[in-house]
Amino acid sequence: MEEILRRFPLDGKPVAVEPITAGHINRSYLVTCDSGRRYVLQRVNRFVFHNVGAIMENLRLLREYLRGSAEAPPMICFIDTMEGESYAEDAAGGAWRLCPYVEDSLSLLRPESEKDFAQSALAFGRFQYALRDFPVERLTETIPRFHDTPERFRQLRAAMDADPCGRRSELGRELDFALAREERAARLQNCRERGEVPLRVTHNDTKMSNVLLDAQTRRALCVIDLDTVMPGLSAYDFGDAIRAGAATGAEDGAGIRLNLAYYAAFSRAFLSACPHLTARERELLPLGAWTMTLECGIRFLTDYLSGDPYFAIDHPTHNLERARAQFSLAADMERRRDDMRDLIIKFT
C-alpha cells in the first residue's frame, strides 16, 4: 500500500492508513498525511468490475458534461497518478485509485430520520435531473445487464443446476418464493425493451451510504460510489433507494417490512427533484421498488448457492439471511402496493 501511495501526488507523507469497513464490493482505506490532509484510497474489485478503465472514463465524461453547469451536483473527483493515469496497478494486477476525503461529512449506513432519507432523495434526484440530456449511449455498461431481472433469474437457475456447494436442498422455501414471481419481476425489463420509458443516466446503487451529508446541517453534499453509473431506468434508482432505506431494519435483518412514512418522504423529495420524469416513469416507480428488492434477494441467493464469490460476508449464512430479508420486504410491498401507488399519485 505504501508503494501504491508513492505513485500519487499527496500533500504530505502518509502517517496512518485505516480500513473503511462500509461497502460490499471495493476495499477502501482512510489515508492521513502529516500535513493533516486526508484521502480515500480504494482497491477496485476486479472480480465485479472487469474494466476499471471504462469506469474512470464514464466519470470523466460526466465531469466534462457537468462542468460549468449551474445545475451540476458536486462530484467526487479522483486524483491522477504521477504518470497522469486515472488509477494505479500493483504487481498482482490490483487497481487502486485515490480521492480527497470530504471533511465534516457524514455517511449513514441507513437513514436515521425521514429528513435524512429525503436528503438522499434530493441528491439522487438532482444527479439524475442534471444529466437528463446527457447522451447515455456514450456510457459503458460497467456491469453488463446489471438490472436485467430476467437475466438474474437465469443466473439463479444456473446456480441451482450447478449447486457447487450442495446448498440447494436447504432452499426450497426461498426458491419457491422467487420463482413464483418470475413473470412479474420481468415487467420492468419488458418496458425497457419496448421503449415505454426513456433510458437515463442512473446511479444504480442508491443506498443511503452513497450520499455524503453535511455533518452539521445534515444536508446532502454529494453522491459517491459512481462505479455503476450507466444507462438505466429512473425506477432503478428510486427502487433501490426504497429497498435499502425504507425498510424497517438492515438488509440482513429478519422479517423486515416497508416503512411507509420513509417511503413517502423519499417519494416526495425524489419527485420534486425530478420534474422531467414522464407519466409512465412515475407510474412504474412502485414496481421499481418491488423489482429491485426481489432482484437483490435473488442476487444474494445466487451468491449463496455459488459459494459467496461476489458479496463480502461476515459468516457462512450471511447471504442466505440477506436473501430472506429481501424476500420479506418484497412480500410486504405486495401487501402495500395500493398505498405505494397512491403516494406517487399524491406527490405528482
Average pLDDT over residues 126-135: 94
- The reply to whether 17 and 86 lie within a common domain is yes
Domain with 83 in it: what CATH number?
3.30.200.20
Containing structural domain, residue 247: 114-347
- The reply to whether 148 and 297 lie within a common domain is yes
- The reply to whether 96 and 223 lie within a common domain is no
Domain with 201 in it: what CATH number?
3.90.1200.10
- The reply to whether 146 and 233 lie within a common domain is yes
Residue 290 lies in a domain: yes
- Quick check: 113 and 245 in contact, CB under 8 A? no
- The reply to whether 175 and 324 lie within a common domain is yes
Helix orientation angle between 279-305 and 337-347, rounded to the nearest 10 degrees? 140
Of the residues 77, 101, 125, the one at which a domain ends = 101
How many domains, in total, are found in the chain?
2
Radius of gyration (Cα) for the chain, nearest Å? 20
Instruction: Dump the DSSP string for 121-149.
Output: HHHHHHHHHHTTTS-GGGS--SSTTTT-H
- The number of beta carbons lying within 10 Å of the beta carbon of residue 298 is 28
Q: What integer pLDDT is reported at residue 112 of this predicted model?
A: 96
Residue 108 lies in a domain: no
Q: Rounded distance, CA 228 to CA 154, Å? A: 21
pLDDT in tens, 158-184: 999 999 999 999 999 999 999 999 999
Q: What integer pLDDT is reported at residue 76 of this predicted model?
A: 82
- The reply to whether 8 and 52 lie within a common domain is yes
| CB-based contacts of 277-280 (< 8 A; 24+ apart in sequence) | 277/234, 278/197, 278/198, 280/191, 280/196, 280/197
Of the residues 101, 125, 155, the one at which a domain ends = 101
Sign of CA dihedral 288, 289, 290, 294: positive
Indicate whether 157 pLDDT > 80: yes
